[in-house]
């Protein structure tokens, strides 16, 4: 019997940061990843548009054999998680910005959240703040342009550093000692962010927590005795997708059109 496959999708390559945590937690399972880079970023799209794309990508992963689907995108989670759970019987694992652990971690009582406009304006994010913020001040910062920098593989360019400094400095000036990376693309910018905000500021993302949830939700499966595989697809330019995916995944991989 084949091992159980885990399907993951994102607006682009950012969800590879989550996929790495899933691979570390589940080394024996096959992984299926589809990047919707032909439609990135989701942050400025309508909810209906994001639901339509999320439905198409989830159906694709199911057709490819996924037993669990992970929405490795905070914006898509906010727009489409409930919608997808109404339409599919398999487990749908979703993302949310790490407000709860950030509130627990802050010493200054100020937490900054770096995310897309779509995430910050969502009712799901508002509910997170109401549930977990308490007396902690949450300072929100939309980050237009950062997703596109990661999609281009520009992880440490001068232009990327300018954007990161533009978005982080107002949060640090407000006293934030903890920053939530509220987009799956942003963990790939951790070295630059850490360099610009300094060692005293803690950076928190949710990839590891999502991997733990996948472990809990995964149906039992026999081991096939074969080496686990990873398969990648992109709706964007395939030459660029192969280059960027290989760079972010850490080794050369093939990327196909879905």
Q: Which of 8, 19, 73, 201 is an active site residue?
A: 73
The structure tokens listed for 248 are 């972010």
Contact predicate 75/95, CB 8 Å: no
Backbone angles phi, psi at 179, to 5 degrees: -120, 130
Phi, psi of 201 (to 5 degrees): -95, 125
DSSP, collapsed to helix, strand or coil, labels residue 190 as: helix
Q: Are 175 and 111 in contact (CB under 8 A)?
A: no
Distances in Å between the Cα of 194 and the Cα atoms of 117, 154, 171, 181, 245 are 22, 16, 13, 12, 23
- Dihedral sign, Cα of residue 181, residue 115, residue 101, residue 58: negative
Note if 143 is an active site residue.
no
List C-alpha distances in Å: 206 to 21, 29, 220, 224. 10, 21, 24, 30
User: Which member of 68, 120, 183, 201 is catalytic?
Assistant: 183
137, 111, 136, 140: which is closest to 125 by C-alpha? 140
Name the residues annotated as catalytic: 73, 183
């Amino acid at each position: 019997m084949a091992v159980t496959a885990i399907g993951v999708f994102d607006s682009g390559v950012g969800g590879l940061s989550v996929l790495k945590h899933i691979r570390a937690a589940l080394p024996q399972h096959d992984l299926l990843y589809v990047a919707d880079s032909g439609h990135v970023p989701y942050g400025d799209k309508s909810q209906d548009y994001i639901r339509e794309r999320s439905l198409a990508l989830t159906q694709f992963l199911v057709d490819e054999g996924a037993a669990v689907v992970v929405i490795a995108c905070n914006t898509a989670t906010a727009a489409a998680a409930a919608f997808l759970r109404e339409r599919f019987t398999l487990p749908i694992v979703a993302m949310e910005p790490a407000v709860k652990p950030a509130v627990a971690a802050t010493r200054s009582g100020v937490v900054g959240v770096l995310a897309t406009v779509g995430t910050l304006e969502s009712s799901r994010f508002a509910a997170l703040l109401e549930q977990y913020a308490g007396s902690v001040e949450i300072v929100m910062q939309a980050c237009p342009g950062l997703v596109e920098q990661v999609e281009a593989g520009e992880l440490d360019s001068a232009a990327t550093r300018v954007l990161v400094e533009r978005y982080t400095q107002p949060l640090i000036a407000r006293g934030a000692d903890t920053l939530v990376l509220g987009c799956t693309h942003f963990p790939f910018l951790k070295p630059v962010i850490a360099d610009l905000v300094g060692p005293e500021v803690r950076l928190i993302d949710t990839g590891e927590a999502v991997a733990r949830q996948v472990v809990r939700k995964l149906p039992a499966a026999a081991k096939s005795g074969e080496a686990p595989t990873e398969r990648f697809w992109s709706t964007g330019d395939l030459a660029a997708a192969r280059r960027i995916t290989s760079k972010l995944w850490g080794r050369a991989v093939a990327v196909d059109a879905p």
